Chains A and B, each alone.
Chain A
Amino acid sequence: MITPVHMEVVFVGIVVALAILMATRPELTRVRGGKILAFLTLFILPVVAVALGYSEHMERATSTQFCLSCHVMNDFGRSLYVDDPSYIPAKHFQNNLVPRDHACYTCHTDYTMFGTVHAKFRGLRHIYVQYFGKVPQPAEIKLYSPFNNRECLHCHAGMRAFEEEPKHSKAPDTMSRINSNQLSCTSSHCHDTVHDVGTLSSATFWKGGQ
């Protein structure tokens, strides 16, 4: 099946061939047609090719495979298969409540390159630490800031089962505190079992969905 990536590779390959042609035969520009070809080959088409490449790389960066490509993230990937619905990421992943091939990005939309400039620099630092620094144990890895309810609410807000859940309406202001991020979804006694990679050694795993 021909995918957009295949078409992009073919396009970039054609631009490379044309650029090599201009590099080896610059005298082509002595005629009008050659000048037009040079303008396309050395300006318009490379700009389009780089824009497509950037778009492709950003799309890939949202994939689960990208996030789990660093060894230190393996346990976070394993936690998605824990056979226990109290593990919130596992419950969402196993029941297709988040797209499996973009599972991490769905709940961490402001992480590293998708966040602020500060977050982008943190992403660069992660790569530096991965190859030149002391990589922490998976259980030691924490979020830089408390998990934002926004990540939950972009799916759950307005959902009937969510709003009518007794725990969410046990106090009159509970829903408003959730919506304003004053009461975290991952608070103690709420949905406080998240990845918990420190407990994976004693966990059982779902074998399906592979």
Chain B
Amino acid sequence: MQNTTQAPLVEHRLRWAGFLIALGLIVQLTTFIWIHPLAFIAFAVVGCPLTAAGILLFLYSLVSRESPQAGRAHNITAS
């Protein structure tokens, strides 16, 4: 028996957006441990871009329209 569940592309993007934002903010939290120029650099060069990428991916998921081909590409097949 084969059961096919479609995971919409928008949810796939939301998953990645959440992951990137969480990772960026964890980096930000880590940089609070030290008072050092490298902590600021890590915040500015690693934490901020990761969080920004997550936010932009989320915004993109809001404005983009899912094509049928793209939807089929993310079919999850369970048997």
Assembly CA distance A29 to B13 (angstroms): 12
Closest to B40 in A: A57
Interface size on A, residues (CB 8 A): 40
Residues on A with C-beta less than 8 A from B26 are 16
Interface size class of B (residues with CB under 8 A): 35 or more
Q: Is the CB of B37 within 8 A of A70?
A: yes
Main secondary structure of the interface of B (DSSP, over half): helix
Q: Is the CB of B15 within 8 A of A26?
A: yes
Using known A-B contacts A16-B29, A43-B55, determine if residue A53 contacts B35 with beta carbons closer than 8 Å: no
Main secondary structure of the interface of A (DSSP, over half): helix
Using known A-B contacts A5-B32, A42-B55, A53-B28, determine if residue A61 contacts B40 with beta carbons closer than 8 Å: yes
- Asked if A153 lies at the interface with its beta carbon under 8 angstroms from chain B, I say no
Residues on A with C-beta less than 8 A from B18 are 19-24, 26, 41-42
Closest to A14 in B: B25
Contact mask for chain B residues 43-72; partner A; CB cutoff 8 A; 1 contact, 0 none: 110011001101100110000000000000
Binds B, one of A44-52, A183-191, A198-206: A44-52
Residues on B with C-beta less than 8 A from A127 are 37-38, 41
Contact mask for chain A residues 107-138; partner B; CB cutoff 8 A; 1 contact, 0 none: 00000010000000001101100000000000
List B residues 16-38 near A (Cβ within 8 Å): 16-19, 21-22, 24-26, 28-29, 31-32, 35-38
Assembly CA distance A20 to B26 (angstroms): 11
Residues on A with C-beta less than 8 A from B36 are 66, 69
Closest 7 CB pairs of A and B: A23-B18, A22-B18, A26-B11, A42-B58, A19-B22, A26-B14, A19-B21
Interface residues of B (CB under 8 A from A): 10-12, 14-19, 21-22, 24-26, 28-29, 31-32, 35-41, 43-44, 47-48, 51-52, 54-55, 58-59
